[in-house]
């Protein structure tokens, strides 16, 4: 048995209004990733750690997601990216924060995991680490897209205050834009269970439009946006400050320690803890015994799943089979 689950961010209020013109491209990206990596994971060619790294790397290259190329712009109109990764069997982890010059932040996080120390590097130190280890460089001009620049200009013209977790317009999740502007979506993540029974989780993001320079969300924080141990792998998406305050990803693992706990019930309890703190969002998780969940409280969450040779994707409540 092998499982690979992906997300491309969660957000929005109200009823899902159906696909935008670019949604087929987003889902097509996920389908291509799952069709490539799913069989390789199932055959034993890829470990869980390799699968989540390759999956998130591919999502970072899709400019319609808010990670890598196509990340949203901070208040100073620059891109600052975060990523983290964790391996279940030994709880090894790696994380980079506020990087500006790396094509694939998840690769830098993966390399930190493999080196073993330190676990986390910030800003210029993380960029320099990546370059010293020959990871691919990327200029801001390449990372930025016309769409993200247009979104930043609208945010700036409407309200120049820095972002917060209270859902005002000072720095919205990009899913909260008007329908015609929802053409570049969110934080990406992957969780996997491989043929050897090992787990891994990875998450990558550009953060929130208009975020203050130096702001750190949940994505690079082990236990908040990403967690993996021998029992469960978790990747979260949503308003990061609330996920930090609840240690949401790790809390899911704690909930699973209760007698007769199910992954689905535990995941809903975690989202219920996050919600009162302004933490709308969702998560994906897979357990060592083969349970997989992809709950969200928002209008939508881009998601995809490879499970027992079957591929499904979804945006709103509906799912689609390949």
| Cross-strand pairs, 306 | 4, 311
CA angle at residue 223 from 222 to 225, to 5 degrees? 80
Distances (CA, A) of 36 to 42, 46, 220: 11, 11, 26
| Cross-strand pairs, 222 | 226
pTM of the entire predicted model: 0.92
Alpha-carbon span 269 to 3, nearest angstrom: 23
The lowest-confidence range among 14-18, 28-32, 240-244 is 14-18
- Residue-wise pLDDT for 102-143, tens only, equals 999 999 999 999 999 999 999 999 999 999 999 999 999 999
- Is pLDDT above 60 for 178? no
pLDDT for the residue numbered 181: 43
Mean pLDDT of 13-30: 87
For the chain, how many structural domains are there in total?
Answer: 1
Q: What is the CATH number of the domain that holds 185?
A: 3.60.20.30
pLDDT for the residue numbered 200: 99
The mean of the pLDDT values for the chain is 90
pLDDT for the residue numbered 160: 52
Range of the domain at 181: 3-321
Percentage of the chain exceeding pLDDT 90: 76
- Residue-wise pLDDT for 261-313, tens only, equals 999 999 999 999 999 987 789 999 999 999 999 999 988 999 999 998 999 99
Q: Report, as residue numbers or ranges, the catalytic residues.
A: 187
Alpha-carbon span 304 to 284, nearest angstrom: 10
Q: What is the CA radius of gyration of the chain?
A: 18
pLDDT for the residue numbered 173: 47
Peptide bond into 205 cis (omega under 30): no
Phi-psi region of 281 (alpha: psi -120 to 50; beta: other; left: phi over 0): left
């Amino acid at each position: 048995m092998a499982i690979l689950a992906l997300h491309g961010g969660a957000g929005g209020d109200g009823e899902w209004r159906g696909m935008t013109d670019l949604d087929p491209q987003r889902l097509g990206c996920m389908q291509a990733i799952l069709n490539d990596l799913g069989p390789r994971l199932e055959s034993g060619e890829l470990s869980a750690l390799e699968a989540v790294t390759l999956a998130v790397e591919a999502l970072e290259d899709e400019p319609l997601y808010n990670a890598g190329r196509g990340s949203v712009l901070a208040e100073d109109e620059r891109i600052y990216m975060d990523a983290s990764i964790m391996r279940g069997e030994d709880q090894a982890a790696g994380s980079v924060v506020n990087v500006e010059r790396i094509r694939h932040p998840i690769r830098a996080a993966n390399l930190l995991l493999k080196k073993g120390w330190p676990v986390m590097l910030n800003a210029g130190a993380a960029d320099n680490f990546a370059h010293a280890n020959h990871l691919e460089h990327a200029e801001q001009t390449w990372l930025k897209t016309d769409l993200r620049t247009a979104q930043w200009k609208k945010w700036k013209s409407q309200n120049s205050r820095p972002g917060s977790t209270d859902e005002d317009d000072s720095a919205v999740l990009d899913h909260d834009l008007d329908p015609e502007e929802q053409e570049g979506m969110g934080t990406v993540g992957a969780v996997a269970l491989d043929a050897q029974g090992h787990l891994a989780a990875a998450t990558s993001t550009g953060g929130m439009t208009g975020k203050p320079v130096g702001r750190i969300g949940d994505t690079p924080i082990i236990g908040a946006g990403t967690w993996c141990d021998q029992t469960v792998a978790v990747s979260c998406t949503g308003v990061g400050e609330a996920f930090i305050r609840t240690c949401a990803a790790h809390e899911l693992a704690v909930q699973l320690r209760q007698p007769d706990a199910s992954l689905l019930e535990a995941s809903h309890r975690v989202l219920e803890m996050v919600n009162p703190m302004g933490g709308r969002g969702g998560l994906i998780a897979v357990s060592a015994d083969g349970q997989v969940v992809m709950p969200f409280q928002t209008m939508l969450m881009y998601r995809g799943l490879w499970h027992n040779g079957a591929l499904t994707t979804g945006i709103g409540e509906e799912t689609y089979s390949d």
